[in-house]
């Protein structure tokens, strides 16, 4: 059974100032998504499911359907604000989606096999897909055995602004906790984050989550249950979000799941800010020159 790749592409890039999922960074006009899918195909994934914002679905399909036709099975699902349990009223002024775990949940009908979850705007590297694919193939008949590809914090920062990262606590290669830290930046030769208005230092080699997860289909039932509780408590909020690390932490605490941390020494790159784009283009060009990728991914 081949695993599925679930790509979270519903964000509208408030910090970036545009729809960065479809921005061209490759020598033949490829986006980061193209490289993610290309790496997934050669790692043995059999299907890709895109979670997309309703505002961009037509443009999105117009770009990726022709490129991927005949290369991998595709499916598209919408992350809509009103896709919540019946009988619950939410704040009519809310415009922000309900978060990454909700984005996973809306893909439930399209996935019946072990699957990986990634962000659309993060470049994870060829080896990461091979590692997670190998893990997922072994989980075909397992439940509650999950994985996460972890990166060293120093390899995941932007030179042009602060970032948020899930900082991991690990014991015997298993995740014991993941805490979202915001406003992480390099400062005075070190790395700091903001906590209640105060700066706190954090080690360069702290392992962080870049939202590259490996799950089995039972994750949907667990997530659905926790989302119902979350939405009852937060329906009136304008910005409260239901994140994957929140669900994962709950499952670990309940001893309903284990999460193996598959660490990577790779340097993350992506396009959090517009200023990141030239460097991302340069790095992709270097990988192309090294033969990691062909000049044109899709021929």
Quick one: which of 166, 170, 175 has its CA closest to 244?
Answer: 166
- Report pLDDT for 271: 78
SS3 of residue 231 by DSSP: helix
Lowest-pLDDT choice from 45-59, 64-78, 139-153, 166-180: 139-153
- For the segment 27-47, the average pLDDT, to the nearest whole number, is 96
The answer to whether 183 and 194 are in contact (CB under 8 A) is yes
252 DSSP β-pair partners = none
SS3 of residue 146 by DSSP: strand
Q: Is residue 193 scored above 60 in pLDDT?
A: yes
Q: Is residue 14 scored above 70 in pLDDT?
A: no
The answer to whether 280 and 270 are in contact (CB under 8 A) is yes
Q: Which two tokens stand for residue 208?
A: 């962080």
Query: What are the extents of the domains in the chain?
Result: 4-289
CATH 3.40.47.40 for the 4-289 domain, yes or no = no
pTM of the model: 0.92
Q: How many other CB atoms sit within 10 Å of the CB of residue 107? A: 22
Spatial neighbors of 288 by CB under 8 A, at least 6 apart, are: 26, 27, 294, 295
Taking the C-alpha atoms of residue 64 and residue 9, their distance in angstroms, rounded to an integer, is: 12
- Report pLDDT for 12: 56
Q: How many other CB atoms sit within 10 Å of the CB of residue 141? A: 8
- Numbers of helices and strands, H then E, in the chain: 7, 13
Q: Over the stretch 271-289, which tens digit does the pLDDT of each residue have?
A: 777 888 898 999 999 999 9
Taking the C-alpha atoms of residue 243 and residue 189, their distance in angstroms, rounded to an integer, is: 31
Q: Is residue 18 scored above 60 in pLDDT?
A: no
Quick one: which of 265, 261, 254, 247 has its CA closest to 170?
Answer: 261
């Amino acid at each position: 059974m081949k695993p599925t790749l679930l790509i979270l592409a519903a964000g509208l890039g408030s910090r970036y100032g545009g729809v960065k999922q479809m921005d061209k960074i490759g020598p033949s006009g490829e986006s980061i998504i193209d490289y993610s899918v290309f790496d997934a195909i050669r790692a043995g994934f059999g299907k890709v499911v895109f979670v997309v914002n309703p505002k961009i679905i037509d443009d999105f399909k117009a770009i990726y359907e022709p490129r991927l036709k005949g290369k991998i099975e595709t499916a598209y699902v919408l992350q809509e604000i009103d896709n919540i349990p019946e009988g619950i009223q939410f704040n009519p002024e809310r415009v922000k989606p309900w978060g990454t775990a909700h984005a996973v949940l809306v893909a439930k009908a399209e996935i019946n096999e072990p699957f990986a979850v990634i962000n659309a705007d993060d470049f994870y590297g060829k080896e990461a897909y091979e590692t997670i694919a190998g893990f997922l193939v072994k989980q075909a008949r397992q439940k509650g055995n999950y994985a996460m590809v972890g990166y060293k914090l120093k390899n995941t920062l932007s030179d042009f602004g602060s970032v948020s990262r899930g900082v991991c606590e690990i014991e015997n290669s298993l995740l014991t906790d993941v805490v979202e830290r915001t406003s992480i930046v390099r400062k005075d030769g070190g790395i700091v984050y903001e906590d209640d208005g105060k700066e706190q230092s954090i080690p360069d080699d702290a392992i962080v989550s870049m939202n590259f997860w490996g799950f089995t289909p039972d994750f949907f039932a667990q997530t659905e249950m926790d989302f119902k509780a979350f939405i009852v408590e937060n329906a009136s909020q304008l910005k409260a979000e239901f994140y994957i690390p929140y669900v994962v932490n709950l499952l670990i605490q309940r001893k309903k799941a284990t999460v193996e941390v598959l660490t990577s020494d790779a340097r993350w790159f992506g396009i959090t800010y517009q200023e990141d784009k030239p460097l991302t283009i340069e790095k992709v060009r270097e990988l192309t020159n090294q033969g990691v990728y062909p000049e044109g991914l899709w021929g």
